[in-house]
Amino acid sequence: MQEIQQVSKDFFALSPEEKEVNKIKPGTSVGYGRLFETGKTVANWVDRITIWSYGEQSRAEPCMPPKPERFRQVVDEYSEAVVKLCMRLIETLSTTLGLEPHILGEHINVKTVGLRTSFNYYPPCPQPELVLGIMPHADTSFVTVLQQDETPGLEIEKDGQWILVPPVKDAFVVNIGDLLQIVSNGKYRSVMHRVLVNNTVGRYSFPNFFMPPKETVIQPVKELLSETNPPLYRSLKFAEYISGFYVKPLTGRRLIDSFLLTPSES
């Protein structure tokens, strides 16, 4: 965990020209730069590089920066360990749904799921009240494993209130993503969250998004459905979900609600 933080700091210490080598290309979701447009009243305040760090997508959309030199080696080792953790989480979540440990993994074809990792640096801001590190949103993943440094900033929404998540040294924060909310038929709920910035010290964070290939069909697990518990969400391909996420800027609205079935449809 310390090594991934160090190579991240080394990357953001590079010159703008060196970082721009990995600039986000049109039509892709990986690379260096900002992913989202500025909101109407609040701007995002973050320096970021996002890569596919594990799985087939990492070969289809390679975006590993050439500098710092140890970046690739450290990321490869780190992502392999995070994926193993995600696999265990999926098994545990399956059992807490009342299913056998393998059912949830088989349903999402877990062996094809990849890992997309963002390296975020939120620099100090002279007017932090005018910006957010990132706007309120829920994640586009089954689960997200987040590593953050010792600087507070992450907030989650509960009952209309924003609650600070204090950083814990050498520990991960695990977020439930929209995809798990769909496949669990709403038994698990994705968490809305945002990032605050401050005017004194920068903050580093490393969210790891456990995500499927674009052609994967996302739908509730059939073992969770019955006449008294009909499907809440329609079947869709992940490509449809992800295109909706990136077409619109983050606004605080829940994209997942657009996939709800009406009572007559379910």
- CA distance linking residue 62 with residue 49, whole number of Å: 13
Into how many domains does the chain fold? 1
pLDDT in tens, 49-74: 999 999 988 877 888 999 999 999 99
Position 41 pLDDT exceeds 50: yes
Q: Residue 104 sits in a domain of what CATH number? A: 2.60.120.330
Over residues 20-49, the mean pLDDT reads: 75
**Does residue 265 belong to any structural domain of this protein?**
no
User: Is the predicted pLDDT of residue 139 greater than 90, yes or no?
Assistant: yes
Query: pLDDT band at 177, cuts 50/70/90?
Result: very high
Q: Print the domain residue range for 138.
A: 2-259
Q: Is the pLDDT of residue 251 over 80?
A: no
Q: What is the pLDDT at residue 35?
A: 43
Stated pTM of the model: 0.92
Q: Does residue 52 lie within any of the structural domains?
A: yes
Residue at 118 is within a domain: yes
Tokens 């983050």 -> residue: 250
Confidence grade of residue 38 (pLDDT, cut at 50, 70, 90): very low
Q: What percent of the chain has pLDDT over 90?
A: 76
